Each structure stands twice: as structure tokens, then as C-alpha cells.
Chain A
Amino acid sequence: MQHHHQSSQLHQSAEAHEQSHHVIAVKTYLMIYLALMLLLALTVGAYFLDMGSHQINLAVAMTIAVVKAVLIVLFFMHVYYSAPLTWITAVGSLLWVGLLLAFLLADYFSRGWLDILGK
């Protein structure tokens, strides 16, 4: 049976403590900032570079954006130092966007594969 008991020591969010208060060195922040600036320069540079096809350009731009976002999320938002739950949340939300896009575009790209009007 379930009991009431006087023991908040057993509280299970003991893991929580470690998760939250990690202080990151200023130097680390500055390094990340520098990396972000370089990546920003890189995207603009890539824009002017003709890489043969728009798809490749788009892929490069999006890859750089993802790397930037990952840096911000990992360090500025402290996910790197956080509990797995935070990781799962962050990755999960990206996954869901991907899911929406994938199924949505699947419809548009496969229209007209069959030679049937409107299918």
C-alpha cells in the first residue's frame, strides 16, 4: 500500500541539482560567439558561391543554420550541461518539424506521379 512518510530526503529530483546551476566560463561563451560569427560569414559567403544548383545552395545554407542553432542551444541554452530530458525535448521538437515537413512535402512531390488528373 502507499504510505505517507516524513522523508523529503528521498525526493527523486536529486538529479535536478546537477542539471541547473553549472556556470560556464566567459571564455567558452566568447568562443561560441566567435564560432557563430564565422558561420554567419560563411553563410553569406556560400550565398555568393555558385555551387551548381539551388538545391545544393539551400542544403549548405540550412546545414550552416542548423550548426548555428545547435551551438546556441547547446551552450547559450545550457543543454550540453543539462539532463537527458532537456536533450530529448530539444531534439524532439526538431524531429516534429521534420515530420510535418516530410509528410507535407511527400504529398506535393508525389502528385502527378501517376498520370491521373488531380491525383
Chain B
Amino acid sequence: MWDFPLFPSQASTNAPRLDALMLFEVGVLIFFSLLIGVLVVGFGIRFRRGNAVDRSNPPTHSQSMEVVWIVIPMILSILMYAWSTQLFFDLYEAPADAAQVDVVGKQWMWYLQHPQGRSETNELHVPLGRPVKLNMTSQDVIHSFFIPAFRIKQDVLPGRYTSLWFQPSKVGVYDLFCTEYCGTNHSNMIGKVYVMEPADYEAWLSEKGVGPSQAEEGERLFVQHHCAGCHRGSQTVHAPKLEGVYGKPVPIQDGKDVRFVTADDRYIRDSILLPQGEVVAGYEPIMPSFKDQINEPDLLKIIAYIKSIANRETSQ
């Protein structure tokens, strides 16, 4: 019966710092609540009607009292403000060496993509003691990514990227919630965060048989969306081979001129979503747009596939 927590566990470097601030503010809360409470009850007892006390010349105003109770809250306010704002900025400015995990929210699941290729749904595995940075976007409505044990939260928006970072400090399994109301199953858009010893984490990363890797999934989708129909040497359609494209400069027709663009994630992504934007020199702009047809997680997989064939030579 009494086996229920009253305080969330502290599992990130941020958590104790935030709790310290919270403790201070709870102190302020208790101080003023008690002050008001004690005064109200105290005056209530002392000055209750019929009690024989001195009631002569009750003061009706006092400049100096007003100054006192303006200045003291003001000073406390500025203190609380400075402290919390300091923490807040630290909360979002990720260290440069943070590992990056991509997060996509959609009704009603979290999709997480590790740099090493592994992806997960509603689960996030992270190594102990290493800063992790989340790059987040949403495919539909606004969601919010919340890990109480880390004391962090950030809304996840459609059409925009937002970010968040943390450094886990305690091995364990923690809750992951969506805190921005997002429709029917908002309360089931939840997951778990596994903080692991770095060695366990490495093992987990290389674990096989947990399903196809990101790139393998991507290849399947590449075929499924008929990309392969054009891009794997079609007789009728003249389209570039995608092997070895990633990371290399690509010539782009720009009016009569040609300029070069590096084929990075953004470029690949735009080529798929807005193919008319940049047309490879020497090809016709016939590739259809896949905007609204491929969802964000799948897009990431396809990009992962195209990345994975970056070192393969084209057979042209």
C-alpha cells in the first residue's frame, strides 16, 4: 500500500541541479504560505471579537511596510529567475561531443533512430554518462517528449526541428511520456528509456536478429516505392544510379548554368520530396515528388539505405 513514490528518480546530470532549485522554491513557497497562514490564524485568534486586546488606532497604511513587502519578494523573484534561467540555457545547449539520436513523433508512437543505424519504437537505449542529443520532428500534430527522471521536456513540432539533450547518470529503466495532447491515444504515446552501462550498450547496438537494420529496411522501401524501377538501370527511364552518390558533389542544372551541390542528408531528402527543386544535370525533371507519400521514419530509412551504398561503385 505504501509502496508508491513521492519523488521522481534522479537519473541525469540535470536532475539533481533542478531538484536543488525546486527545493529552494518550495522553501520560498513554504515560507510565504506559513507566514500568511500563521498571521491569518494568529490575528484571527488574538483579535477575535470579544477578546480584550488593544485595538486603538489600527494602522490604515504604511509606506515603509509596503516597501518591505515589495522589495523582499522582488529580490527573491530575481534570485529564482536568475537561477532557473541559468539552468534552462544549460538544458538546451548540448555539448559538442553529444551523440545524436533522431526522434520522430507521430500519432501515437515515438520513432527513434540511432546514428549507428539501429532504430527503435517507443524505446530508447542510451549509454550511461555520455551526453545524448535529440533532434526531433513530428509527422502530424504537436507532441512533446518528456522523461521525468531526466527532468527534460521539449515539444515536437510538425514542419520544424527542435532539440534536447541529456546526460544519463544512473542505470535503469525510465518512463518516456508524450505530454502535449495529441488526440485519442495521447496517454498511450509512452515508452521506456533504458540507461545502460556503455559496454552493454555497445553490445545492444551490435545485437543482431532484432530485425533488419535501418538500411535494410530502407532498401526494402526503396523497392516498395518503385524507386528501384527507375534508379536501378531501367530501359525506358533515364535516371541516375544512386550508388556512390552520397557525400559527393552532384552537378545541378541551374538555368543554363550548372552548379555543384554536396549530396548530404538534406539534399537526398529534398530530392525525394521536392525532386523538381534540384535537377541533376543531364536528366529530365521527371522524378515524381514523394511528398506526403513517404512518412518521416521511412524517409530516414531510405536515406540510410542511400548512405549505405555510398561506397559502392556504380556499374556505369
Using a CB–CB distance below 8 Å, which chain A residues touch chain B? Answer: 114, 116-119
Contact = CB atoms under 8 A, between A and B. Distances in A.
B93 A118 contact: no
Contacts of B163: 116-119
Given A117-B135, A118-B157, A118-B161, 10 more contacts: A114-B92, A116-B94, A117-B163, A118-B136, A118-B154, A118-B162, A118-B163, A119-B92, A119-B162, A119-B163
Nearest to B135: A117
A35 B92 CA distance: 55
B92, B135, B161 — which one has the most chain A CB atoms within 10 A of its CB?
B92
13 contacts: A116-B92, A116-B93, A116-B94, A116-B163, A117-B161, A117-B162, A117-B163, A118-B136, A118-B154, A118-B160, A118-B162, A118-B163, A119-B162
Contacts, number: 20
Interface string B40-57: 000000000000000000
Contacts of A116: 92-94, 163
Contacts of B157: 118
A102 to B, nearest CB: 21
Contacts of A114: 92-93
A27 B169 CA distance: 81
Nearest to B155: A118
A114, A116, A117, A119 — which one has the most chain B CB atoms within 10 A of its CB?
A117
Nearest to A115: B93
Nearest to A111: B160
Nearest to A114: B93
Interface string B151-169: 0001001001111000000
A73 to B, nearest CB: 37
A117 B154 CA distance: 11
A114 B89 CA distance: 10
Interface string B238-252: 000000000000000
A116 B94 CA distance: 8
A8 B166 CA distance: 72
A117 B162 CA distance: 5
B252 to A, nearest CB: 26
3 nearest CB pairs, A to B: A118-B162, A117-B163, A117-B161
A47 B135 CA distance: 44
B149 to A, nearest CB: 22
Contacts of A118: 136, 154, 157, 160-163
Contacts of B135: 117
Contacts of B94: 116
B113 to A, nearest CB: 15
B100 to A, nearest CB: 10
A118 B161 CA distance: 6
